[in-house]
Amino acid sequence: MKYPVALTGLLIAGGAGTAQAGSLADCAALADDSRRLACYDALSGRSADSATPAAETADAESTGPALASATTAEAGNEEEEFVSQRLEEEEANANNRFVIIPHKRNYLLPLTFNSNINEEAWKEQHPGDGMDQAEAKFQISFKAIIWQDMFGMNMDLWGAYTQENWWQIYNTDVSSPFRETDYQPELILSVANDWHFMGVHNTRLDLSLTHQSNGTSEPQSRSWNRVIASALFEHRNFSLVTSAWYRIPESNKDDDNPDIDDYLGNGQLEGVWRWPDYTLGFTLRNNLSSDNKGAIQLDWTFPISQRFSGYVQYFNGYGESLIDYNESTNRIGIGVSLSDPF
């Protein structure tokens, strides 16, 4: 009887396993193919379970890259849909009375420093008293649904309120007063969108009727009314809101600040880069004229707890507050942030 030379090598390499399994002749005498193959495997010291059929190997090789690609694509989609996920959560909780939905960023800056203070407006209220360059600043902003899925369409009507405060907390000589409080109620028509172009996702379109005032009497009264159109775009970990507005005209006798457009312009850009633990944001305004009035704000958040983020804010330019709309401000502050800007 003839046997392949390779099997003779297997017999030699088998060692003690060969003695237990028998000889090549014993294996060859087996009529059942599977038992005969198992016998040869035993002689060679090879486990039947260790052998992977070629077909299975090929399947694994062909399936592995596909699964990896699918997983990568899924992770990429999750990264791109950060704001979309927030909007879905807002929709789901819109009618929950126990949930307060943030509108703009909610934050507290216990310490800010302004190197260019507006002492003229301060002296109108506090003649003879000095104004501190250090003060606290905070913002409260939330919204509530008024009409969800209007007319059966993918369109919602929201009411929103934002209040921003500048507090002379360290100025104990004048009982630490609130220097300025700006109030901003809004009525917002929001349309969910799903437009894609070159990797950019247009998530939402908003049209709002916005009133902003500081609630004081003359000569420090400041207010204006606007119609604001906004669009939200996303690309990977970057979100951008573009806004343009039209100021609703007022009569000359009722207009507290007729030149406010010269300083706050007719639109702004807000952008945020998001990483797992950090965000970096900016706000840009410009009146797009030769005198180049405008402003820039930079925002950085970093982790300090599960509920709060550390927050650093820098502002330079015009219109940080209504009382200072025509005065240049240069301020930096540090504190905590409770929510993202959008």
Tell whether 117 and 44 lie within a shared domain.
Answer: no
The whole-angstrom separation of Cα 311 and Cα 321 is 19
Tell whether 278 and 230 lie within a shared domain.
Answer: yes
Residue at 158 is within a domain: yes
Numbers of helices and strands, H then E, in the chain: 8, 13
Predicted local confidence at residue 81, as pLDDT: 57
Give 293's DSSP letter.
-
Predicted local confidence at residue 93, as pLDDT: 79
Predicted local confidence at residue 288, as pLDDT: 80
**Please, are residues 133 and 113 in contact by the beta-carbon 8 Å criterion?**
yes
Predicted local confidence at residue 92, as pLDDT: 79
The whole-angstrom separation of Cα 100 and Cα 96 is 8
- Cα–Cα nearest to 325, from 263, 282, 245, 281: 263
Confidence grade of residue 45 (pLDDT, cut at 50, 70, 90): low
pLDDT above 50 for 248: yes
Predicted local confidence at residue 9, as pLDDT: 43
CATH of residue 326's domain is 2.40.230.10
Predicted local confidence at residue 271, as pLDDT: 97
Give 307's DSSP letter.
S
Predicted local confidence at residue 51, as pLDDT: 46
Average pLDDT value over all residues in the chain: 83
CA 177 to chain centre: 34
- The 10s digit of each residue's pLDDT in 64-122 is 444 444 444 444 444 545 677 777 787 777 888 878 899 999 999 999 999 999 888 89
Tell whether 114 and 218 lie within a shared domain.
Answer: yes
Q: What are phi and psi of 62, to 5 degrees?
A: -75, -30
pLDDT above 70 for 336: yes
Predicted local confidence at residue 99, as pLDDT: 84
Strands 309-317 and 329-337: antiparallel
β-partners of residue 216 are none
Residue at 279 is within a domain: yes
CA dihedral 34, 37, 39, 43 (to 10 degrees): -160
pLDDT above 70: percentage of residues in the chain: 81
Determine the structural domain holding residue 45 and report its residue range. 5-51
Tell whether 20 and 115 lie within a shared domain.
Answer: no
63, containing H or E segment:
helix 54-80
Tell whether 32 and 179 lie within a shared domain.
Answer: no
Tell whether 291 and 247 lie within a shared domain.
Answer: yes
Residue at 63 is within a domain: no
Q: What is the mean pLDDT of residues 164-175?
A: 96
CA 300, 212, 186 angle in degrees (round to 5)? 85
- Is the N-terminal amide bond of 219 cis, ω within 30° of 0? yes
pTM as predicted: 0.75
Which is higher by pLDDT, 336 or 253? 336
Tell whether 157 and 34 lie within a shared domain.
Answer: no
Residue at 221 is within a domain: yes
**Please, are residues 235 and 76 in contact by the beta-carbon 8 Å criterion?**
no
Structural domain count of the chain: 2
Residue at 90 is within a domain: yes
Give 111's DSSP letter.
E
Residue at 71 is within a domain: no
Q: Which of helix, strand or coil describes residue 35? A: helix
Active-site residues, by number, are 211, 213
45: left (phi over 0), alpha (psi -120 to 50) or beta: left
- The 10s digit of each residue's pLDDT in 273-324 is 999 899 999 999 988 877 778 999 999 999 999 899 999 999 999 999 999 9
233, containing H or E segment:
strand 223-235
The whole-angstrom separation of Cα 116 and Cα 328 is 7
Predicted local confidence at residue 227, as pLDDT: 98
Residue at 62 is within a domain: no
For residue 23, the number of C-alpha atoms closer than 13 Å in the C-beta half-sphere is 4
Tell whether 24 and 166 lie within a shared domain.
Answer: no
| Of 77-91, 187-201, 202-216, minimum mean pLDDT range | 77-91
| Of 65-74, 171-180, 241-250, 315-324, minimum mean pLDDT range | 65-74
